[in-house]
Chain A
């Protein structure tokens, strides 16, 4: 037995033309599905991702602060936005904006 039992002639190795269009992939998927070869990879979660800061989907502030603002607004009988507007006014005065 020699160290290299056979040689490869790279010139003889050809790739065949393959259809890689979306339609061809769809046909392939359909043919596979009929025999039970179905999508098995976990699908990506749809919708908006939680905020990396608050961990919530729609939160603008941390959960504890959100609750405090809601309680104060309820006590005064105003919308939460009023509290935020007042806070913004205080911030502007403090910062000289």
Chain B
């Protein structure tokens, strides 16, 4: 089963939120998901401890640089999707996780700072592809977006598209319920209503479906 690595050297880009939304929506759609928490801040573990884990999800904490490769190996062949949530720094742990990915997702807020730092993950993927002589599929998802796109958002999206970067559509919008996942645990389907739940669930599900299409080879 595929391994999805959520990577950006920029802190606060929305990696853990992206990981939780993707994991919970894929599990909701019927997949078994194992989530690896490689962030020293243990955001995934905090989420997992907040409430009962949704069906078909397990979380492994404190995966380190020395055991990331063998941990992924142990889990990516036994009927489950592996999602790896990384720390927001440029580290060897990040480069090793990327080397084991079937898809790397780089969450990015639509700001120049996020794009500038986030692009370093894309450069790393390109270097690893060359070093390992293997294509590593990757995509960018914009996070915490507003209903009306800013000029900055449009400009960055255009620039990335021009460079042939795969942009996941829809982006993950700024939603009260997305951040509340780390308050209540569980998933969007079980949490107490926070703002526009229907819109949030639809956004998360469409995002997960777009990722699934990439994993299933339905994209280009």
Binding site for B on A (CB under 8 A): 1, 3-10, 12-16, 18-20, 24-25, 27-41
In Å, the complex CA distance between A10 and B32 comes to 9
Contacts of B28 in A (CB 8 A): 4
Is B215 a contact partner of A19 (Cβ separation < 8 A)? no
In the assembled complex, the CB of B197 is this many whole angstroms from the nearest CB of chain A, namely 11
Q: Mark B190-210, 1 if CB is under 8 A from A, else 0.
A: 000000001001100110110
Contacts of B94 in A (CB 8 A): 32, 37
Q: Is the interface of A mostly helix, strand, loop or mixed?
A: loop
In the assembled complex, B127 has its CB within 8 A of some CB on chain A: yes
Contacts of A3 in B (CB 8 A): 189
Contacts of A35 in B (CB 8 A): 90, 120, 123-124, 127
In Å, the complex CA distance between A47 and B117 comes to 39
Tell me how many residue pairs across A and B have CB atoms closer than 8 Å. 123
Is A8 a contact partner of B69 (Cβ separation < 8 A)? no
In the assembled complex, B112 has its CB within 8 A of some CB on chain A: no
Q: Is the interface of B mostly helix, strand, loop or mixed?
A: helix
Q: Which residue of B lies closest to A38 (CB)?
A: B92
**Known contacts A5-B202, A31-B95, A40-B92; A12 and B127 CB within 8 A of each other:** no
Pairs A–B under 8 Å by Cβ, sample size 11? A6-B29, A7-B30, A9-B216, A10-B30, A15-B2, A27-B131, A27-B132, A28-B128, A29-B96, A40-B91, A41-B92
**A37 contacts which of B1, B66, B92, B100 (Cβ < 8 Å)?**
B92
**B124 contacts which of A14, A15, A24, A32 (Cβ < 8 Å)?**
A32
**Known contacts A20-B73, A37-B92, A38-B91; A28 and B132 CB within 8 A of each other:** yes
Chain B interface bracket (under 10, 10 to 19, 20 to 34, 35 or more):
35 or more
**B92 contacts which of A19, A34, A39 (Cβ < 8 Å)?**
A39
In Å, the complex CA distance between A33 and B198 comes to 44
Contacts of B64 in A (CB 8 A): 41
Contacts of B198 in A (CB 8 A): 1
In Å, the complex CA distance between A97 and B2 comes to 68
Is A13 a contact partner of B2 (Cβ separation < 8 A)? yes
Chain B, range 1-30, C-beta contacts under 8 Å to A: 1-3, 9, 26, 28-30
In Å, the complex CA distance between A97 and B6 comes to 68
Is B1 a contact partner of A29 (Cβ separation < 8 A)? no
In Å, the complex CA distance between A34 and B189 comes to 43
- Name 8 extra pairs, CB < 8 A, besides A8-B29, A38-B91, A41-B65: A12-B217, A13-B215, A15-B1, A19-B132, A20-B70, A25-B69, A40-B93, A41-B91
In the assembled complex, the CB of B74 is this many whole angstroms from the nearest CB of chain A, namely 11
